A and B are shown apart, each in its own frame.
Chain A
Amino acid sequence: MQASRARLFKEYKEVQREKAADPDIQLVCDDSNIFKWTALIKGPSETPYEGGVFQLAFSVPEQYPLQPPQVRFLTKIFHPNVHFKTGEICLDILKNAWSPAWTLQSVCRAIIALMAHPEPDSPLNCDSGNLLRSGDVRGYQSMARMYTRLAAMPKKG
């Protein structure tokens, strides 16, 4: 408990200090609970998620960093490795490939990388995965772009 709190506090200070270091990621700690974080990540360019801002919710276990944080999308996203309803993410480093040397910041970076490079062979959203597997890149992109517009962009007017 103490170790995880200390480590999260270090990460918190690092985030405060390096706020401008990575303009694509904005990590915010909950006001009252250091084990709850949210992040806003920008959709990577040259992907159907470009222009969108996606919100992630982190729930950090007490054994952190020996155990991985639980992360899910709060913003709806059409992506093969993200559950369309729950926002659950299928990413190895959040499960069996976790290493205590990862940080919340680097997890965000890994998620951005996943957005740019979907892994359709392990689909959590099969419609999306099947579009990609069948070679219908246009179909996948237009679906993903539509949901980015609907859910991840500020409404105009």
Chain B
Amino acid sequence: MESEDDIIDDLVSMEDDFYSGDFSDYYDDPNDEDNDYYSDGDDDYGLLEDDEDDQEAVVSRRDQLGYTVLKEADIKQRQEDDISKVSTVLSISRVDATLLLRYYNWSVSKVHDEWFADEEGVRQTVGLLETPVVQVSNARELTCGICFESLPRDNITSAACGHPFCRTCWQGYICTTINDGPGCLSLRCPVPSCNAAVGQDMIDKLATIEEKKKYSRYLLRSYIEDNRKTKWCPAPGCEFAVDFAVGGGNFDVSCICSRNFCWNCTEEAHRPVDCNTVAKWILKNSAESENMNWILANSKPCPKCKRPIEKNQGCMHMTCTPPCKFEFCWLCLGTWSEHGERTGGFYACNRYEAAKQEGVYDEAERRREMAKNSLEKYTHYYERWASNQLSRQKALADLNQMQTVQLEKLSDLQCTPESQLKFITEAWLQIVECRRVLKWTYAYGYYLPEHEHAKRQFFEYLQGEAESGLERLHQCAEKELNKFILCDGPSKEFDEFRAKLAGLTSVTKNYFENLVRALENGLADVDSQAVAACSKTTSSKNLGGTSKGRGGRGKGSSKTGGSSRNVDDTSN
């Protein structure tokens, strides 16, 4: 027990030393806002009664700044509402309103602005014609513009422009575009010079049931994918989307399918590490796999939407498939509009050359040496990253087991209502969250620059403390709890246990929140103090006549941690 108290004291003193209370404003009131985000769920956080989905959400609730999880029905509802709004305000059909909204990425205000600024222009660009461009003759037969057959009028259909095509050709045309992908949402009349839009009314009239389904699927997807404020939850098979209020500095969101992910890069939630580091880390982890080798050798990601693109023909001027349509240079992946004289031609793209030249400056020997070291270094961090990942999964499973079986049992055994056993669930939720943070600190550590000794040492110290604090909590929630589950009847020590576990939970929670903040700051708080401590040691060394600067790295290490001396001592 004593050692535990020590740890708790350490953690608390840590806080006082380095973070002097500037977190409070950040984390103070998660509960006030929470109810807004999950307004469709239960009002109170009756953890034990809720299904597990909601509980996962609670894991990261303190990180939330503002987002809503949308189910398919919600998405449809919002889409319908937006269409109705535009249709009413502009007095146009719902079909036209849909076309307009899609063109302007489902931004109602943008549609209004553009429309009222220049209705004619908008009609022209989106292809909403008011009158046919072709005078329909009174002839009994018309010639279809695709199969060139003369057919009775009944068989001929046109978009708003009046260009005549037979039903069969329309069906073929619509079927081909729908099967080509979401580009079918901006379908135009087949006449190349005509830009009349083909809307959902035509699709409904002419497409098969299967195609109509696809079309409305694309329309729904477009509402999420083209909208800047919404994204799909990246979990496989999950059909929920997240509406994110851009503005906060934190991108972690948790879907009600229980997936926690980063809204910015859609990888799993990765605070305190930033998105770029995560992307590098994930690429590195999978770099060895065959798949990755093939993708790297044969494709490049679109610089805008990141979908891998295989180039199988044509020139270097690439145009990503709709809806992205980003134009870029295959060689340097720069935007195409910047190409031409400035890059000195096309196959001889300057930026590509420049990148190659940079590589030339590396001395071959140094590189070989570094490769070996870096592999060892990588293995070190990867193993720890992966083991925390595993540990988190185990903890999730345990949490589940706890909620479904153990708590009930424990409640009977200790004669305590389940509602009073919340602290156990909370402890496990905290463990799951801490494992996640801890895991990502290893990616953070891997990319922390070698030469920033003070930062590295401090980081490793913080990480070590986090690791042991979490172990303490994990042990308590796992092993010590077991005693009470296995015993025969109510135990007096249960109240003590409750206090201890709740205490550890809260202390660990605080510590990890501080850790996350510190790492997100790039250890800025720590830097000044640690450097100060560092310069103190070096200056004292200088007095002693040794070399300058940060030279004595090995020896200095224990002293550079001087700013945290009190903790060093106690943990020894």
Are A123 and B190 touching (Cβ within 8 A)?
Answer: no
18 more A-B contacts (CB under 8 A) besides A6-B147, A90-B314, A100-B173?
Answer: A3-B168, A7-B146, A7-B148, A66-B172, A66-B176, A90-B315, A93-B192, A99-B192, A100-B146, A100-B169, A100-B172, A101-B190, A102-B192, A123-B316, A126-B346, A126-B347, A133-B340, A133-B341
Which of B146, B147, B317 interacts with A121 by CB under 8 Å?
B317
Tell me the nearest residue of chain B to A96, going by C-beta.
Answer: B319
Are B145 and A3 touching (Cβ within 8 A)?
Answer: no
Determine whether A75 belongs to the interface, using a CB cutoff of 8 Å to chain B: no
Determine whether B551 belongs to the interface, using a CB cutoff of 8 Å to chain A: no
Binding site for B on A (CB under 8 A): 3, 6-7, 10-11, 14, 63, 65-67, 81, 88, 90, 93, 95-97, 99-102, 121-124, 126, 129-130, 133-134
Chain B residues with CB under 8 A of A134: 341, 345
Are B146 and A123 touching (Cβ within 8 A)?
Answer: no
Are A100 and B314 touching (Cβ within 8 A)?
Answer: no
Bound together, the chains give a CA A121 to CA B153 distance in angstroms of 45
Bound together, the chains give a CA A7 to CA B521 distance in angstroms of 67
A-facing residues in B57-92 (Cβ within 8 Å): none
Determine whether B112 belongs to the interface, using a CB cutoff of 8 Å to chain A: no
Complex A-B: 20 CB contacts under 8 Å: A10-B149, A14-B148, A65-B146, A66-B172, A66-B173, A66-B175, A66-B176, A67-B176, A81-B315, A90-B314, A90-B315, A97-B192, A99-B190, A100-B169, A100-B172, A100-B173, A101-B190, A101-B191, A126-B345, A134-B341
Chain B residues with CB under 8 A of A99: 190-192
In the assembled complex, the CB of A4 is this many whole angstroms from the nearest CB of chain B, namely 10
Are A124 and B341 touching (Cβ within 8 A)?
Answer: no
Bound together, the chains give a CA A124 to CA B169 distance in angstroms of 34
Determine whether B339 belongs to the interface, using a CB cutoff of 8 Å to chain A: yes
Bound together, the chains give a CA A14 to CA B143 distance in angstroms of 14
Are B317 and A63 touching (Cβ within 8 A)?
Answer: no
Determine whether B313 belongs to the interface, using a CB cutoff of 8 Å to chain A: yes
Bound together, the chains give a CA A14 to CA B317 distance in angstroms of 36
Bound together, the chains give a CA A129 to CA B313 distance in angstroms of 17
In the assembled complex, the CB of B174 is this many whole angstroms from the nearest CB of chain A, namely 10
Chain B residues with CB under 8 A of A11: 148
Are B190 and A130 touching (Cβ within 8 A)?
Answer: no
Bound together, the chains give a CA A130 to CA B341 distance in angstroms of 8
Chain A residues with CB under 8 A of B176: 63, 66-67
Are B313 and A3 touching (Cβ within 8 A)?
Answer: no
Chain B residues with CB under 8 A of A97: 192
Chain A residues with CB under 8 A of B313: 88
Are A10 and B315 touching (Cβ within 8 A)?
Answer: no
Tell me the nearest residue of chain B to A65, going by C-beta.
Answer: B146
Are A121 and B339 touching (Cβ within 8 A)?
Answer: yes
Chain A residues with CB under 8 A of B147: 3, 6-7, 10
In the assembled complex, the CB of A85 is this many whole angstroms from the nearest CB of chain B, namely 13
Bound together, the chains give a CA A88 to CA B315 distance in angstroms of 10
Are B315 and A123 touching (Cβ within 8 A)?
Answer: yes
Contact with A along B318-340 (1 / 0, CB 8 A): 01000000000000000010011
Bound together, the chains give a CA A123 to CA B336 distance in angstroms of 12
Bound together, the chains give a CA A66 to CA B173 distance in angstroms of 6
Bound together, the chains give a CA A10 to CA B192 distance in angstroms of 20
In the assembled complex, the CB of A86 is this many whole angstroms from the nearest CB of chain B, namely 10
Q: Which of A6, A10, A122 counts the most B-chain CB atoms under 10 A from its CB?
A: A122
The 4 closest A-B pairs by CB, nearest first: A122-B317, A66-B176, A10-B148, A130-B345
Bound together, the chains give a CA A126 to CA B341 distance in angstroms of 13
Bound together, the chains give a CA A3 to CA B149 distance in angstroms of 11
Chain B residues with CB under 8 A of A124: 314-315
A-facing residues in B295-329 (Cβ within 8 Å): 313-317, 319
Q: Which of B191, B192, B340 counts the most A-chain CB atoms under 10 A from its CB?
A: B192
In the assembled complex, the CB of A120 is this many whole angstroms from the nearest CB of chain B, namely 9
